[in-house]
Amino acid sequence: MQENVNSNVQEKVLEGHRNGGLVLTLVIIAYLFSFILFLFGVAASGLLAFVSVLWMTFGWILLLGLKVLKPNEALVLTLFGRYVGTIKGDGFFWVNPFCTAFNPAAATRLEQSGDAPGSKRGSASAAVETVTVSSQINGLSKKISLKVMTLSNNRQKVNDVLGNPVEVAVAVMWKVTDTAKAVFEVDNYKEYLSLQCDSAVRNVVKKYPYDVTDNVDTTGDGNSDDGSLRGSTEIVAARIREEIQEKVSDAGLEIVDARITYLAYAPEIAAAMLQRQQAAAVVDARKLIVDGAVGMVELALERLNEKHTVELDEERKAAMVSNLLVVLCGNHDAQPVVNSGSLY
């Protein structure tokens, strides 16, 4: 009967290994002592000479266990394929020289803070660049950064809830919280995060209209609301952060924050949507002008009646109202016409 084995790897932090300086000093002293022993051994004893030569040949292997870490850096160590632990914090460490640092995402460069600058790509997803073989030969650090990093997700074209194509870009602040999960639970935690960001943006944006629209439910409670991409930016960004966090928790990553950095209609409909917004603005402005003009005409008639400045019959009142509305609602300045004759 075969037992079920839990494949989740638990992070194990190695303590008490900040003795790299001591080991380095002892190795140097041992090399000096073996050199002196070799000189005496050649004349006195062949065995001493053999021991000194053996040390000078293989003693350098101990130096392979020296590791230097800066603040907020970590190394995941494996011994012949088995996870032995993680060293964290700043200092000069010495570990088993046969342990190797493992980080499958070391050769992956994202368009984000903390990574080597690479050529920006125009794809919808976050740009991912893999370091060439020559760069690996020159030395590729296997260290895992524990700092908060900012992933700049490139613009994506997504259809909103009404089917209108919009372009959205987000910036995601994230960090590694569990080095063992980040290294062993997913193939490449940087590429995994980038793909989850793209997916979350699409899943959230398609639930909102670009602007406030009637009879649209963005919260899923069955009731229409006034949520929109343009007016509810903070809420949309929070939902994107929550969805990404739900996907990357098993990879040992924490999403600190998410922000929308770019939002606009797609170029193919931007001109038409601009005309629509302009038309709506003109209608709203005209409505405001008409409401104000009617109020001013009513006030003028009331003041004339109160002070008995002039007595107007219904026909003259209608003419006065017509003239005032033309003057107040017109697009151009009115040209006055002076009537030098009698009113009647």
pLDDT tens-digit profile of 212-254? 777 777 777 777 777 888 888 899 999 999 999 999 999 999 9
Q: How many CB atoms lie within 10 A of CB 87?
A: 22
| pLDDT tens-digit series, residues 266-299 | 877 656 667 666 666 777 777 787 777 788 877 7
The residue-averaged pLDDT of 4-22 equals: 76
The fold for domain 103-265 equals Tetrahydropterin Synthase; Chain A (3.30.479)
Would you give the distance in Å from CA 95 to the centre of its chain?
A: 36
Q: What pLDDT does residue 15 have?
A: 85
Q: What pLDDT does residue 154 have?
A: 81
Q: What pLDDT does residue 119 have?
A: 40
Q: Residue 49 and residue 55: Cα distance in Å, rounded?
A: 10
Which residues make Cβ contacts (< 8 Å) with residue 266, sequence separation at least 6? Answer: 157, 164, 165, 166, 167
| pLDDT tens-digit series, residues 71-116 | 999 999 999 989 999 999 888 999 999 999 999 888 887 766 566 4
Lowest mean pLDDT among 42-46, 63-67, 132-136, 246-250: 132-136
pTM of the complete model beyond 0.85: no
| pLDDT tens-digit series, residues 151-203 | 887 888 888 888 888 889 999 999 999 999 999 999 899 999 999 999 999 99
Tally: H helices and E strands in the chain: 8, 12
Q: What pLDDT does residue 3 have?
A: 42
Q: Are 147 and 256 in contact (CB under 8 A)?
A: no
Q: Are 77 and 112 in contact (CB under 8 A)?
A: no
The residue-averaged pLDDT of 12-39 equals: 86
Q: Three-state SS for 337? A: coil
The residue-averaged pLDDT of 122-131 equals: 44
Q: What pLDDT does residue 138 have?
A: 37
Whether 41 has a pLDDT exceeding 70, the answer reads: no
Q: What pLDDT does residue 50 have?
A: 79
- Segments making up each domain of the chain, as ranges: 7-101, 103-265, 271-329
Per-residue confidence at 130, pLDDT binned at 50, 70, 90?
Answer: very low
342: left (phi over 0), alpha (psi -120 to 50) or beta: beta
In this structure, which amino acid lies at residue 227? Answer: G
Q: What pLDDT does residue 177 have?
A: 93
Query: Which pairs count as long-range contacts for 233-242, CB under 8 Å and 24+ apart, including other chains?
Result: 233/260, 233/263, 236/204, 236/205, 236/208, 236/260, 237/170, 239/204, 240/170, 240/200, 240/201, 240/204, 241/172
